[in-house]
Chain A
């Protein structure tokens, strides 16, 4: 069965500092990979996704993620964090199946706190 590990439950960074959130997955083949953000009182918003091709994916709000097959990782990065980035971040995977729906398997999330 596929699984997703986000080893950092909480991360605190200073505004303007760089950020990297870790995500490792376990799956028999390369799945579809996603990062979502959940702000307080709001639904999950898709930041970016990887399906194939270039392993460095650009997303919204200045985020990017790099897929590393050899490490089964899909870490999320941002060069300079803004206070509004404080939220919970979820990594998710879905199997490479067409027509069967992308049933997402989520990690347990990383809560990001930004210090001013």
Chain B
């Protein structure tokens, strides 16, 4: 019954290291989205999962970014060889449907990533 959860809430890493961010969607939600929010900017779409369909990766900024989701459960966003420009808050959202008028996205609290 809880909302979308994300872990860790904060992550500090050194440039060049890999990081994994986790998202637990609301139970029963088939769609899952990842967004990035850089300081002073709006959210940018990264990737979208819908059930067992191939994910929409059109928003991933480089091949250092990847994400996985098993079925309709947990998703992990992986950033390899982190760069300072990757510093941002990474937000996950889930929704019950796959778009359209009924689709309301519920957001998690985010993971604040700082790359030193």
Q: Name A46's contact: one of B4, B35, B105, B110 (CB within 8 Å).
A: B105
**B19-38, CB < 8 A from A:** 31, 33, 35
B35: chain A residues at CB < 8 Å are 104, 106
Cα distance A3–B106 when bound, in Å?
Answer: 21
Q: Name B100's contact: one of A45, A102, A106 (CB within 8 Å).
A: A102
Interface stretch of the complex, out of B42-50, B61-69, B71-79: B42-50
Encoded as 1 (CB less than 8 Å from any A CB) or 0, chain B from 73 to 116 comes to 00000000000000000010101001111011111111000000
**A26-50, CB < 8 A from B:** 32, 36, 41-46, 49
Question: Is there an interface contact between A98 and B100, defined as CB atoms closer than 8 Å?
Answer: yes
For residue B3, CB closer than 8 A to chain A, the reply is yes
Cα distance A43–B93 when bound, in Å?
Answer: 10
Encoded as 1 (CB less than 8 Å from any A CB) or 0, chain B from 10 to 23 comes to 00000000000000
For residue B1, CB closer than 8 A to chain A, the reply is no
How many residues on B have C-beta within 8 angstroms of the other chain's C-beta atoms?
31
A107: chain B residues at CB < 8 Å are 42
Which residue of the partner chain A has the closest CB to B92? A43
**A88-103, CB < 8 A from B:** 90, 92, 94, 97-103
Residue from B33, B40, B101 with most neighbouring chain A CB atoms (10 Å): B101
Residues of A within 8 A of B (CB): 4, 6, 32, 36, 41-46, 49, 51-52, 90, 92, 94, 97-109
Q: Name A101's contact: one of B48, B106, B108 (CB within 8 Å).
A: B48
Which residue of the partner chain A has the closest CB to B100? A98
For residue B41, CB closer than 8 A to chain A, the reply is yes
Shortest CB distance B100–A (Å):
4
B91: chain A residues at CB < 8 Å are 43-44
Cα distance A90–B4 when bound, in Å?
Answer: 19
Cα distance A94–B45 when bound, in Å?
Answer: 11
For residue B59, CB closer than 8 A to chain A, the reply is yes
Give the 8 A-B residue pairs with the shortest CB-CB distance, closest first: A106-B42, A44-B107, A43-B107, A51-B101, A98-B100, A106-B43, A101-B48, A101-B99
